[in-house]
């Protein structure tokens, strides 16, 4: 690098860092953004994009030159991250440049993947659909952009009359969805990240934001450095990096979170510190129905009181392991009106066989105590994927759902969807499709035994690494010649290596996109560089297959007027890759999808408004002057335009249709599998700071791979000493379903208690999901990756006869 | 040659860490408890190691990145 260029870059780097350090400082405002970018010198083009990785939704500025991403800067204009990036965001540009990008379609012939043309690949998929449309399934992702997910949704439900479409988000946040639906009648948090700037107390319910959402966590910790008093309470099953910042660490036994929440409710009632006015005006009670349904049945205040009477602090200590004194501390905090309390959670409460129940109970704690609806007073779930909210929850790419909060089982919702799609009445199938676990069960089961899914098309995800109990849900299909697995991805993965057809995909700023983050913020970006080789957009792949079926005469690929399901303005033939970017397909699909968003008051602005903004939080409502206004706090009159004047708080999608939220009765129960004599330890799985989920992108980034090169099992020091196991020694972690061999990390980043081990799932060489359990929540169908019974043995011993 | 702009979030009341006395690090103007720095290293693994060292300092509670130049990795000279 020549000295002039280095000087340029140093200037740009210092200007960006100085500006980021100055955000939020009234004394020293940041320098103009243009100054920083100009310092990079001529020839670098800058444009915005949300980060590719987690659900926080940080914005980056992407610097491109000569068709490559050459620089990344935190977007100072973005309210989410104010110019800062975590270690993954810092490397996001390099995720495009791994040496083994998939660049050509590959078809398995005689056991080997061999290159074929795109025309052949599209034809193969069309053949599989035509063979038996009802046995074709689509497995998508919370990393699908909104237009990608919408296209897949329309192709399946509006085209094939087939509801077997489900996303990997079923594995990560489905219980948050059912929790919101059961309590408020509508999905997604009422609050937003501003709550983190306003809360006096932040409670972490089984999540570790210091590693998983570091930029959000910094907003809390930053306030302390400014001299503000923020109490952080860490309720966990093991010590993590977040624990190091906590004022109180409450370690609970797996599944004990339900007892803790019930214990707080008990104290609010016993001490008379619940919010009587909020209860009278805004709440109703609910209990389980028979047969079980998400909406349950009405309960009374007296029934609720009788239920929680048993959850005394001493009883909760017995059930959860958290001391009665700490339960009282929590009860006292929620009983105070002078504090603002925000609860945060993520996978710990969602990957839970009682996920809907614990989500509902944490909402109940906030509602009954009145800690709701004011900045800083909020129960807020966080997501792990960049568009789990935007694409899965809002577009509804779930087996039972339709866009905009609709469901296939509702006659009116199907009729509305058919009208928006201009397809014949009756096109949308009323029967929900297979949820993720069921879909893969049916794919792994032989046809003769009722396994009626013959083909799955996977886009933007890696089920070979993430499905629980892989030995049962994934491997059997790979030995069955009737089953056909199609995978669209950017790198070879644990799934592509087993696939019958592999399609090379464009990623992130190699294509246009729209994501929706954890705080209802919709974020748009444009393609900034071209994908390598023959890699193409996932959305194009879906449209190209749809068009091939249309060309062959499949009726479902036509609308009521006989036009192609994805006909574009001006009849631009976007199924021809050379013409795909002649029109902004994302904008066309987004505007079509936008019609769906009003029913549940998830209103989106026109696409072009997002082009100008660093995201906007829905509902986004047009003002008399023609401008578009986002909503930060839903259900609160001071900010939500859909709350009637004078109501203060109004739950306008209430399940009881009376403006009330539901406080649920949910007892503590033990999980379906617990340690016993043969498998005496708990296993919890999860993520690490350096790698994003299965590591297929971050594993290609040398500094991240070097920082965290391989998986491990965290083992308690006393357990290790008792078993004679040393740090770094290889052990076998084994359940009733399978095993995984890993090196031991004692006193590492996480510190599990005795009888408990933790294994991250990012490493495809050590597939911990051969060990996990596919048992799932009855409502959300989300599996529990956080607890099952295992034994740990030294490998030499494990391998001995 | 990797060039990274970062922000150190210092622990309240503490001075910047002594690890900043490194010729590869240029220190900017402190703003409250935030300190902008630029790290210029010969190899990418060095910048990561340096940032990790800084984050491990008891004077620092977090390090966030504000700018990174990737051109040395993605633009291969003929």
Closest-CA distance of chain B to residue A243, Å: 13
> Does the pLDDT of residue A801 top 90, yes or no?
no
Is the Cα torsion angle A72, A73, A78, A80 positive or negative in sign? positive
Give the per-residue SS3 of A52-78.
CCCCCCCEEEEEEECCEEEEEEECCCC
Tokens coding A692: 């994003």
- Selection from A758, A762, A757 nearest residue A707 by Cα: A762
How high is the mean pLDDT of chain A? Answer: 94
SS (H, E, C) A9-21: HHHHHHHHHHHHH
Using an 8 Å Cβ cutoff, are A152 and A138 in contact?
Answer: yes
- The DSSP H or E segment spanning A471 is helix A470-473
Cβ contact B64–A13 (<8 Å): no
For A481, the token pair is 């010649």
Q: Do A215 and B12 touch (CB under 8 A)?
A: no
B44 contacts A17? CB cut-off 8 A: no
Is there a single domain that holds both residue A445 and residue A546?
yes
Label residue A38 by pLDDT band (50, 70, 90): low
The C-alpha atoms of residue A243 and residue A381 are separated, in whole angstroms, by 19
Q: Is residue A242 part of a domain?
A: yes
- For residue A290, what are its two tokens? 């028979």
Residue A108: pLDDT band with limits 50, 70, 90: very high
**Is B40 in contact with A6 (Cβ distance < 8 A)?**
yes
Complete DSSP assignment for A509-565 = GGS-EEEE-TTSEEEEE---SPPSTT-B-HHHHHHHHHHHHHHTT-GGGB-TTS-BT
Q: Are residues A363 and A399 in the same domain?
A: no
| The predicted structure's pLDDT at residue B1 | 65
Classify B60 as helix, strand or coil.
strand
Alpha helices in A154-290 (DSSP H): 174-184, 194-198, 209-212, 214-225, 257-270, 276-282
The answer to whether residues A132 and A252 belong to one domain is: no
Angstroms from A222 CA to nearest CA on chain B: 8
Nearest to A398 by CA among A351, A433, A355: A433
Which pLDDT score is estimated for B76? 41
Each residue of A163-205: pLDDT tens digit?
A: 999 999 999 999 999 999 999 999 999 999 999 999 999 999 9
| Annotated catalytic residue A63 | no
Q: Do residue A422 and residue A557 come from a single domain?
A: yes
Q: Would the CB atoms of B66 and A74 count as touching at under 8 Å?
A: yes
* Alpha-carbon distances of A199 from A257, A279, A526, A617, B56, rounded to whole Å: 22, 22, 35, 20, 28
Spatial CA neighbour of A264 closest among A381, A363, A382: A363
Q: Which residues pair with A558 in a beta bridge?
A: A564
Look at residue B12 and tell me whether its pLDDT is greater than 80. no
Helix (H, G, I), strand (E, B) or coil at A582: helix
Query: A549: domain CATH number?
Result: 3.40.50.740
pLDDT, one tens digit per residue, over A497-531 is: 999 999 999 999 999 999 999 999 999 999 999 99
Q: Which residues pair with A431 in a beta bridge?
A: none
Place of tokens 């294509």: A511
Q: What is the radius of gyration, based on Cα positions, of chain B?
A: 13
Strand partners, A564: A558
Taking contacts as CB-CB distances below 8 angstroms, the residues of chain B near A10 are 3, 26, 38, 40
pLDDT digits (tens, 9 = 90+) for A591-604: 999 999 999 999 99
ipTM of the complex: 0.93
Q: Which of A96, A115, A138 is the last residue of a domain?
A: A96
Sort strands A341-345 and A201-205 into parallel, antiparallel or unpaired.
parallel
β-bridge partners, A64: A45, A69
Instruction: Give me the half-sphere count of Cα atoms (radius 13 Å) on the Cβ side of residue A307.
Output: 23
Say whether both A377 and A402 belong to one domain.
Answer: no
What CATH number is attached to the domain comprising A85? Answer: 2.20.25.90
pLDDT tens, residue by residue, A335-352: 999 999 999 999 999 999
Q: Is residue A644 part of a domain?
A: no
Q: Is the pLDDT assigned to residue A25 strictly greater than 70?
A: no
| Residue A420: both structure tokens together | 């928006």
What's the farthest any 2 CA atoms get from each other in chain A? 79
* Min Cα–Cα distance to chain B from A245, Å: 9
Closest among A146, A255, A41 to A520, alpha carbons compared: A146
List the single residue in A9, A96, A215 with the smallest CB-CB distance to B3: A9
**Residues A746, A717: contact at Cβ < 8 Å?**
yes
Q: pLDDT tens digits, residue range B32-57?
A: 888 999 998 887 678 778 888 888 88
pLDDT in tens, A725-783: 999 999 999 999 999 999 999 998 899 999 999 999 999 999 999 999 999 999 999 99
Domain boundaries, chain B: 3-73
How far is it, in rounded angstroms, from Cα A95 to Cα A564? 36
Q: Which of A28, A85, A707 sits opposite B66 (nearest CB)?
A: A85
Residue A592 to residue A589: CA distance in whole angstroms: 5
Which pLDDT value is given to residue A800? 39
Residue count (chain B)? 78
* pLDDT above 70 for A639: yes
A381: part of which helix (H) or strand (E)? strand A378-381
Structure tokens given for A220 = 């809390």
Q: Average of pLDDT values for A442-461?
A: 98
* A117 and A260 fall within a common domain: no
Closest partner CB to A1 (pick from B11, B38, B72): B72
What confidence category does residue A34 fall into, taking pLDDT thresholds of 50, 70 and 90? low
Out of A22-26, A115-119, A434-438, A665-669, least confident range: A22-26
Among A2, A3, A6, A9, pick the best mutation site for testing chain B contact (most B Cβ within 10 A). Answer: A9
- List the CATH number of the domain containing A786: 2.40.40.20
Bridge partners of B67, per DSSP, are A73, B5
Q: Look up residue B9 and give its DSSP letter.
A: E
Tell if the CB–CB gap between B74 and A69 is shorter than 8 Å.
Answer: yes
Inter-chain CB proximity B70 and A6 less than 8 Å: no
Number of structural domains found in chain A: 4
* DSSP assigned state of A374: B
Banded model confidence at residue A402, pLDDT cuts 50, 70, 90 = very high
Specify whether A347 is catalytic: yes
In a domain, A632, yes or no: no
How far, in Å, CA of A341 to CA of A661, rounded? 19
Determine, yes or no, domain membership for A648: no
- Residues A54 and A181 both lie in one domain: no
A561–chain B nearest CA distance, Å? 49
* Catalytic residue of the set A384, A390, A513, A556: A384
% of chain A with per-residue pLDDT over 90 = 87
Most distant pair of Cα atoms in chain B: their distance: 51
Note whether A37 and A62 are same-domain residues. yes
Question: What's the pLDDT at A35?
Answer: 61
Helix H segments across A680-762?
702-707, 717-723
What percent of chain A has a predicted confidence (pLDDT) above 70? 96
User: Domain end: A70, A96, A122, which one?
Assistant: A96
pLDDT digits (tens, 9 = 90+) for A208-236: 999 899 999 988 988 887 789 999 999 99
pLDDT tens, residue by residue, A551-567: 999 999 999 999 999 99
Q: Is A173 a catalytic site residue?
A: yes
Alpha-carbon span B28 to A14, nearest angstrom: 7
Of A40, A172, A568, A708, which residue is the catalytic one?
A172
CATH code where residue A303 lies: 3.40.228.10
Is A385 considered catalytic here?
A: yes
Does domain B3-73 bear CATH number 3.30.70? yes
> How many H-runs (helices) and E-runs (strands) does chain B carry?
2, 4
Contact A731, A792 (CB under 8 A): yes
Per-residue confidence at A32, pLDDT binned at 50, 70, 90?
low
pLDDT at residue A375, as a whole number:
97
The strand ranges marked E within A570-635 are 616-617, 621-622, 628-629
Residue A26 banded pLDDT, cuts 50, 70, 90: very low
pLDDT higher than 80, residue A4: no
User: Domain containing A155: what range?
Assistant: 106-172+387-583
> What is the band of A40 on the pLDDT scale with cuts at 50, 70, 90?
low
Instruction: Give B77's pLDDT tier (boundaries 50, 70, 90).
Output: very low
Whether A85 shows a pLDDT value over 80: the answer reads yes
Locate A736 and state its tokens.
């009733």
Residue A603 maps to a domain: no
Q: Which of A439, A593, A418, A454 is nearest to A516 (CA)?
A: A593
The token pair at A664 is 């649920």
Beta carbons within 8 Å of A739's beta carbon, 6+ residues apart = A732, A733, A770, A771, A798
The rounded distance, in Å, linking the Cα atoms of A486 and A421 is: 27
Whether A650 is in a domain gets the answer no
Q: How many CB pairs under 8 A join A and B?
A: 155
Residues of B in contact with A222 (CB under 8 A): 9
Average pLDDT over residues A449-466: 98
Cβ-Cβ contacts under 8 Å, A94 against chain B: 70, 73-74
Q: Model confidence at B9, in pLDDT bands (50, 70, 90)?
A: confident
To the nearest whole Å, the CA of A338 is away from the closest chain B CA by: 26
**Window from A34-48, A557-571, B16-30 with minimum mean pLDDT:** A34-48
pLDDT at A224: 83
């Amino acid at each position: 690098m020549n000295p002039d260029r280095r000087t340029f870059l140093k200037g740009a780097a210092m200007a960006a860092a100085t500006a980021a350090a100055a955000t939020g400082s009234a004394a020293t405002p940041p320098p103009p953004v243009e100054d920083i970018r100009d310092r990079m010198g001529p020839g670098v083009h800058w444009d915005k994009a949300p980060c590719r990785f987690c659900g926080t939704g940080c914005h980056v500025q992407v610097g491109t030159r000569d068709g490559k991403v050459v620089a990344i800067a935190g977007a100072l204009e973005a309210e989410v991250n104010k110019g800062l990036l975590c270690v993954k965001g810092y490397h996001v540009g390099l995720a495009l440049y791994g040496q083994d990008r998939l660049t050509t379609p590959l078809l398995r012939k005689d056991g080997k993947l061999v290159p074929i043309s795109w025309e052949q690949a599209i034809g193969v998929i069309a053949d599989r659909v035509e063979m038996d449309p009802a046995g074709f399934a689509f497995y998508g992702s919370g990393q699908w952009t909104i237009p990608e997910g919408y296209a897949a949704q329309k192709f399946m439900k509006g085209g094939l009359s087939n509801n077997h479409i489900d996303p990997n988000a079923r594995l990560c946040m489905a219980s948050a969805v059912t929790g919101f639906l059961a309590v408020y009648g509508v999905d997604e948090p009422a609050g937003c990240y501003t709550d983190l700037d306003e809360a006096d107390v932040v409670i972490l319910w089984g999540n570790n934001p210091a590693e998983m959402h570091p930029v959000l966590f910094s907003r809390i910790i930053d306030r302390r450095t400014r001299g503000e008093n923020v109490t952080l309470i860490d309720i966990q099953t093991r010590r993590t990096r977040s624990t190091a910042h906590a004022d109180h660490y409450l370690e609970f036994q797996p599944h004990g979170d339900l007892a803790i929440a019930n214990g707080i409710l008990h104290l609010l009632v016993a001490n008379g510190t619940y919010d009587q006015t909020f209860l009278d005006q805004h709440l109703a009670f609910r209990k389980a129905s028979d047969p079980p349904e998400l909406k349950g049945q009405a309960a009374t205040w007296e029934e609720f009181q009788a239920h929680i009477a048993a959850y005394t602090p001493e009883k909760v200590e017995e059930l959860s392991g958290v001391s009665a004194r700490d339960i009282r501390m929590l009860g006292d905090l929620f009983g105070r009106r002078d504090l603002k309390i925000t609860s945060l959670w993520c996978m710990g409460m969602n990957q839970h066989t009682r996920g809907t129940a614990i989500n509902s109970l944490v909402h109940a704690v906030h509602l009954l105590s009145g800690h709701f609806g004011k900045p800083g007073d909020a129960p807020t779930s966080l997501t792990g994927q960049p568009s789990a909210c935007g694409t899965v929850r809002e577009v509804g790419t779930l087996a039972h759902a339709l866009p905009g909060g609709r469901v296939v089982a509702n006659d009116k919702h199907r009729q509305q969807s058919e009208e928006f799609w201009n397809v014949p009445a009756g096109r949308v199938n009323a029967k929900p499709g297979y949820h993720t676990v069921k879909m893969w069960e049916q794919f792994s089961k032989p046809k003769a035994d009722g396994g009626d899914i013959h083909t799955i098309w996977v886009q933007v995800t890696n089920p070979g690494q993430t499905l629980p109990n892989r030995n049962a849900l994934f491997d059997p299909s790979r030995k069955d010649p009737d089953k056909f697995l199609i995978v669209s991805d950017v790198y070879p993965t644990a799934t592509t290596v087993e696939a019958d057809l592999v399609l090379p995909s464009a990623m992130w700023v190699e294509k246009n996109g729209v994501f929706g983050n954890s705080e209802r913020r919709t974020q748009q970006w444009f393609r900034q560089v071209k994908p390598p080789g023959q890699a193409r957009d996932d959305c194009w792949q879906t449209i190209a297959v749809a068009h091939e079926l249309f060309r062959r005469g499949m009726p479902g690929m036509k609308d009521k007027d006989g036009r192609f399901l994805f006909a574009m303005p001006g009849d631009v033939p976007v199924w021809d890759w050379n013409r795909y970017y002649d029109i902004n397909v994302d904008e066309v699909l987004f505007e079509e999808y936008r019609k769906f968003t009003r029913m549940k008051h998830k209103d989106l602005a026109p696409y072009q408004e997002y082009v100008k903004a660093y995201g906007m939080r829905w509902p986004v409502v047009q003002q008399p002057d023609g401008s578009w206004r986002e909503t930060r706090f839903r259900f609160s009159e001071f900010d939500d335009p859909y709350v009637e004047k004078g109501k203060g708080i109004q739950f306008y999608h209430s399940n009881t249709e009376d403006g009330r939220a539901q406080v649920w009765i949910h007892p503590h129960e033990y999980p379906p599998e617990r340690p016993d004599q043969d498998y005496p330890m708990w296993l919890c799985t999860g993520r690490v700071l350096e790698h994003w989920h299965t590591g297929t992108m971050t594993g290609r980034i040398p500094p991240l791979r070097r920082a965290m090169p391989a998986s491990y099992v965290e083992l308690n020091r006393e357990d290790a000493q008792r078993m004679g196991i040393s740090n770094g020694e290889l052990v076998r972690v084994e359940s009733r379903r399978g095993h995984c061999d890993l090196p031991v990390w004692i006193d590492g980043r996480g510190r599990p208690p005795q009888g408990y081990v933790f294994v991250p799932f990012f490493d495809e060489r050590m597939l911990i999901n051969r060990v996990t359990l596919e048992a799932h929540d009855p409502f959300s169908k989300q599996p529990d990756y956080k607890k099952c019974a295992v034994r740990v043995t030294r490998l030499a011993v494990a391998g001995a006869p | 040659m990797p060039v990274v702009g970062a922000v150190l979030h210092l622990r309240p009341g503490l001075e910047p860490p002594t690890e900043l006395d490194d010729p590869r690090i240029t220190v900017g103007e402190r703003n409250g408890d935030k300190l902008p720095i630029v790290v210029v290293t010969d190899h990418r693994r060095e910048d990561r190691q340096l940032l990790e060292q800084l984050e491990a300092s008891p004077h620092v509670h977090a390090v966030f990145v504000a700018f990174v130049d990737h051109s040395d990795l993605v633009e291969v000279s003929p």
